Structure 1
């Protein structure tokens, strides 16, 4: 685990995180923007508390969290020197694919048939119309990820030796705060406790099974290696985010901007994705709903992840994460 930065920029009076002092067990923390943290086990007199357990009583606990954040006399400690873990351990991860308009258009244009008679401009315009119809008439594309792929926001990411085309996908993640089953689009955001940052790493070479093309995508193989989902650093309460459908998603690779897009470009907004997932599955407190990645992935740039690469990911009002890629050692 890497130590936290000395500051913690995010919107609102507080955020939630999971921290630890060197050599000690992780603890659930209330974090202030000035770079100080409060151990919620002590503050709430709950010795075994975790962030997920806190979310299970989210509406009941929220007023108390606001009061704690405003109390300067609490046992606040500086983030400097503490280690930052993934903010929550979800039971389920719901991931959205092909959900950014420009990203899908770029992919469709790049994979046109060589004998396609359309110009690039004509192809983009036609595909844009299809995306508009999809937003109005179709359903989100959602699949399941594994919690074992989650790692902390500052941890190194090991690139498996079998991953030939590892790629980045920075995404906004909604964190569920109430059990949600068959909820409407209109009420879906009432079930979201807050938001955090996720980087949904993908090995492009294993997205499709070469031996079973008719089966389609293989998300188990391509997305769920250990550490392939850096998460955090913080969960920022939903009420601190004025408009989650208008946040800037930016990823830099070794200091160079690769992704830089607003969540306004999403084909399906957060409410539609949460509602759609809940029509089949029961979403539980602490679960993650990833909302898809904007244009600017490595396949677009012709530059995929390799040993020593450093990814800096930021989303407006949610803080920042930094992860370094390490090639898996082979024997």
Structure 2
């Protein structure tokens, strides 16, 4: 087991595998896990989220009592903390990230200076936040892997890149909810790394269609998730968290969620106008500045990514080709 960093709050929720392979939902307190099997609570984290209003006080009671069988994290494999039915991913949702991309992808014959492009793009982002709609696409649950598992890069992928993101986890179903109501439907938060094959994002053979999110983002293991689900009540303001990702100890993403163009409530409300969000579903809120394309440094065999977000713990994943 990798070294453990406690999440914020008196407890968190996770999914685990024992040495004999048995999988279970567990309550996490100070680096120890209480197996919830036999407590009368639902069996999986997704089932727990589906009855969150009733489950949360019972989890609080178990955490406070401290009795029952507890196991150290070192004796367990930490699994993805939930198996969602749907993953909704927000694109181009951080101002600085979009500005950096505009400079990096400017045409060679563009007469504007980098400073002019930055200024014009910043003004565009301000208008977008005030007048526009979020950009959201769909991810596949089969891309999810555990917070300490290897990320396996397929042989066709030449430009693997990192994208550490805050993920909102749905509790109450949400359909056509207002922005004011939206956060009432978020049960917890966790960390996601939306690994991307950069060369596959745009279909050069079909430019009129545009992006290919299936191929670029959904290979197995391309979405490390976790380590745990931290109840939203313990997280505080999701618009004021620190997102940090290192590769082999060097920090590349080091940003605040304050830089989001559309906050969690806006994203959840927007998605719910078209789709029905279900318990356990994930809303990935976009990647802040500092991706590999910006630095000219993409992922290579043996690299180790370590990602953290305020109060949510740390995930650590090795790249394997």
Q: Which residue of 2 aligns with 1:255?
A: 249
Counterparts of 1:291 and 1:326, CA distance in 2: 26
1:89-117, CA deviations, whole angstroms, 9 ceiling, x for partnerless residues?
00000000000000000000122222333
Counterparts of 1:50 and 1:158, CA distance in 2: 26
Counterparts of 1:216 and 1:290, CA distance in 2: 21
Deviation at 1:40, TM superposition (A): 1.1
Aligned Cα RMSD in Å? Answer: 1.0
Q: Which residue of 1 aligns with 2:152?
A: 158
Q: Which residue of 2 aligns with 1:12?
A: 9
Q: Which residue of 2 aligns with 1:24?
A: 21
Counterparts of 2:236 and 2:178, CA distance in 1: 21
Counterparts of 2:140 and 2:293, CA distance in 1: 24
**TM-score of the pair, normalised by structure 1:** 0.95
Structure 1: runs of 5 or more not aligned: none
What is the 5 A alignment of 1:108-257? 108-257=102-251
Contact 2:13 2:81 (8 Å CA) reproduced = yes
Contact 2:41 2:48 (8 Å CA) reproduced = no
Counterparts of 2:200 and 2:124, CA distance in 1: 27
Structure 2: runs of 5 or more not aligned: none
Deviation at 1:45, TM superposition (A): 5.5
Counterparts of 2:114 and 2:213, CA distance in 1: 30
1:18-71, CA deviations, whole angstroms, 9 ceiling, x for partnerless residues?
011123221000001x2111111222355xx00000000000111111111101
Q: Which residue of 2 aligns with 1:38?
A: 34
Contact 1:159 1:306 (8 Å CA) reproduced = no
Q: Which residue of 2 aligns with 1:278?
A: 272
Which of residues 59, 68, 75 is equivalent to 1:65? 59
Deviation at 1:202, TM superposition (A): 0.5
Counterparts of 1:26 and 1:17, CA distance in 2: 11
Counterparts of 2:151 and 2:25, CA distance in 1: 23
1:268-297, CA deviations, whole angstroms, 9 ceiling, x for partnerless residues?
000000001000000000000000000111
SS in 1 for 2:38: helix
Counterparts of 1:87 and 1:97, CA distance in 2: 23
